[in-house]
Amino acid sequence: MNLETNKLKAALERLCLVVPKKGTLPVLENLRWRAVKGHLELTATDLDNSLYISLPFAAPAVANSVDVLVPAKELYQSVKTESASNLEIRIHDGKFAVRANNRTLVLPCSEPKNFPQIPDGELSLRGQILSSALETALTKALFCVSTESTRYSTDVVKLEMRDSVFRVVGTDGHRLSVVEGAAKTGTNFALCTLLLRSTASILSKLESDGDSGWVQFSTCGSEQEFNLFVLPDGSGLIARRGQGQFPNYENVIPKAPLEAKVVFQRKELLDGLTKLSATARKAQKHSGLLFQKA
């Protein structure tokens, strides 16, 4: 089979976001390489998040029944600096050969029987989110999401959708970030779900080639315990939903309009806080929240 090099590079770079850095299961270090109805479908998973990407063949494929596991990061490292426009892939006798410019790299491949079963990703559209706005919102919310699970679900990101607006909320109990953006939902429809920190991090990095379309949102799984995000280019992320009770963040949002507005230069504010931090008492505990809305 033949593939365009740049398209394969971009796909592998995104798939490696899901491949665990320190996997407890060796099979998770692989991606599933499968020929489906005249195109290539690549899948990576860390059990909580599963990303699938479809690529067209640059030329008609000789074999249409290919279904193997390939080491994800080794494959990406081998092709990310390749300058040839197309790559020729040959799979035979447990070997995965990548050929370009009279050079051939051979990697091991195996049967997919031990690869985790990916939840059913059939899309039943529940809403759409502007892609660029979602990336920005998640990036701004992640900085104050807790890295440890506490009494409340402060290690997740809350996603809300209502009418033509979505809202992303992150907090660690001391800081709070609330970011809104454009969405499309049904009339009088409201949605609320929790995203794992890992899911939010992956989604914030998945936008490719400046896509400015809409991310389609749905749920899937036997008990609808997974969120499904379909990106403008057709790739999809199936993610396990976060559990627990998210803090009632609206209690700390001012109800009345602010009477005054102060604008700081970022550099000057950081310099001032750095100077003050030397005199702050380390043992002092703060119960207030830093509120950000964009």
Same domain, 10 and 98: yes
Q: Quick check: is 211 in a domain? A: yes
Q: How confident is the model at residue 181 (pLDDT cuts 50, 70, 90)?
A: very high
Same domain, 109 and 156: no
Question: Average pLDDT, whole number, for the chain?
Answer: 84
Which residue has better confidence, 22 or 293?
Answer: 22
> Strand, helix or coil at 221?
coil
Same domain, 131 and 107: no
Give the pLDDT confidence score for residue 134 in this predicted structure.
92
For β-strands 226-230 and 236-240, DSSP reports them as antiparallel
Q: Quick check: is 224 in a domain? A: yes
Same domain, 89 and 10: yes
Answer yes or no: is pLDDT of 86 > 60: yes
d(CA 194, CA 155): 10
Q: What is the pTM of this model?
A: 0.82
Which one of 54, 80, 114 terminates a domain? 114
Answer yes or no: is pLDDT of 291 > 60: no
Interaxial angle between packed helices 5-15 and 72-79, expressed in degrees from 0 to 180 and rounded to the nearest 10 = 140
Same domain, 57 and 83: yes
Give the pLDDT confidence score for residue 162 in this predicted structure.
87
Q: What are phi and psi of 61, to 5 degrees?
A: -75, 140
Same domain, 85 and 188: no
The total number of structural domains that make up the chain: 2
pLDDT tens figures, 94-121:
898 888 888 888 999 999 999 999 887 6
d(CA 245, CA 142): 18
Give the pLDDT confidence score for residue 158 in this predicted structure.
94
Nearest to 179 by CA among 201, 198, 157: 157
Answer yes or no: is pLDDT of 248 > 70: yes
d(CA 219, CA 123): 8
Q: What are phi and psi of 50, to 5 degrees?
A: -130, 120
Domain that holds residue 83: 2-114
Count of other CB atoms within 10 angstroms of residue 222? 8
Answer yes or no: is pLDDT of 288 > 70: no
Name every residue whose Cβ is closer than 8 Å to that of residue 287 and which is 6 or more positions away in sequence: 174
Same domain, 99 and 18: yes
Place of tokens 């899911």: 199
Q: Quick check: is 271 in a domain? A: no
Distances (CA, A) of 196 to 67, 72, 126, 230, 292: 30, 23, 19, 17, 21
Give the pLDDT confidence score for residue 121 in this predicted structure.
60
Q: Quick check: is 214 in a domain? A: yes
Give the pLDDT confidence score for residue 246 in this predicted structure.
87
Same domain, 49 and 81: yes
Highest average pLDDT, of 176-180, 258-262, 263-267, 283-287, comes from 176-180
Domain of 168: which CATH number?
Answer: 3.10.150.10
Same domain, 134 and 219: yes
* Across 74-83, 127-136, 254-263, least confident range: 254-263
Give the pLDDT confidence score for residue 237 in this predicted structure.
94
Q: Quick check: is 149 in a domain? A: yes
Answer yes or no: is pLDDT of 274 > 60: yes
pLDDT tens figures, 203-242:
999 875 555 789 999 888 777 789 999 999 889 999 999 9
Which one of 93, 114, 135 terminates a domain? 114
Q: Quick check: is 47 in a domain? A: yes
Same domain, 142 and 60: no
Highest average pLDDT, of 58-67, 126-135, 252-261, 273-282, comes from 126-135
pLDDT tens figures, 6-20:
999 999 999 999 999
pLDDT tens figures, 34-82:
988 778 899 999 999 999 999 888 767 656 678 999 999 999 998 888 8
Q: What is the helix (H) or strand (E) element at residue 159, kind and residue range?
A: strand 156-162
Same domain, 247 and 143: yes
Q: Quick check: is 56 in a domain? A: yes
Answer yes or no: is pLDDT of 21 > 90: no
Same domain, 137 and 240: yes
Q: Quick check: is 210 in a domain? A: yes
Which one of 82, 114, 146 terminates a domain? 114
Proportion of the chain in helix, strand, coil states, percent, rounded to 5:
20, 35, 45
